Chain A
Amino acid sequence: QKEVEQNSGPLSVPEGAIASLNCTYSDRGSQSFFWYRQYSGKSPELIMSIYSNGDKEDGRFTAQLNKASQYVSLLIRDSQPSDSATYLCAVESAGGTSYGKLTFGQGTILTVHP
């Protein structure tokens, strides 16, 4: 089982729609979760962090966390062509020698078409 697994893409949505990106993780002790966006040929860019169960909204982005189900998601409302990128879910390990270690999922490619 992969430590961090994202829904396989690519995901294609029309402009203005809601894009839903999902991620599950195996480390029950993890407390910190992040979403990064990576445009082709560029570096990962942090767009959301979430630490508590529930929803966290930032502009058109909403991160959702359910620690009991070991599930984190990212919703992008009113999707724009400029949102087309690879979205990476990252989970921070808790304690021990892996303190502060981020484990990334394989990424989901999102395409927003006009």
Chain B
Amino acid sequence: DTAVSQTPKYLVTQMGNDKSIKCEQNLGHDTMYWYKQDSKKFLKIMFSYNNKELIINETVPNRFSPKSPDKAHLNLHINSLELGDSAVYFCASSQNGQGEQFFGPGTRLTVL
């Protein structure tokens, strides 16, 4: 049973395109996150949602827009993709917005 799932696993696209990544968790958690891991493996939080409400919004370009239709789903839409957006994007979830976070398998985004 997959706890936190993401689609797609790989995404290769051209500069300037718009793309979306989807995340779903079946852990019953109420908080979900998006992280970006760059080529140096540094993992940094981008956003978090608690019960569909935006809680954490780090310094991320406006081209990135998260959406949470319900507490089990968190999507990430990226407009006008740039070369620097190439990274692995991880979704994670936790209960009550604190404590242990559990990560999805990641989406490797390559912008050409």
Interface residues of A (CB under 8 A from B): 32, 34, 38, 42-46, 49, 86, 88, 92, 97-104, 106-107
Contacts and interface: CB of A to CB of B under 8 A. Distances in A.
A34 B103 CA distance: 13
A100 B92 CA distance: 12
A100 B94 contact: yes
B112 interface: no
Given A32-B99, A88-B43, A106-B42, A100 B105 contact: no
Nearest to B105: A43
B34 interface: no
A96 B64 CA distance: 23
Contacts of B102: 46
B97 A34 contact: no
A43 B101 contact: no
Contact of B101 (A42, A102, A106, A107): A102
Interface of B: 31, 40-45, 48, 50, 55-56, 90, 94, 96-106
Given A44-B43, A44-B90, A100 B48 contact: yes
Nearest to B97: A100
Contacts of A100: 31, 48, 50, 55-56, 94, 96-98
29 contacts: A34-B101, A38-B41, A43-B90, A43-B103, A43-B106, A44-B43, A45-B103, A46-B101, A46-B102, A49-B100, A86-B41, A99-B98, A100-B31, A100-B48, A100-B55, A100-B56, A100-B94, A100-B98, A101-B45, A102-B101, A103-B45, A104-B42, A104-B43, A104-B44, A106-B40, A106-B42, A107-B41, A107-B42, A107-B43
A58 to B, nearest CB: 13
A104 B90 CA distance: 13
A100 B55 CA distance: 9
A92 B40 contact: no
Contacts of B104: 43
B105 A42 contact: yes
B103 A99 contact: no
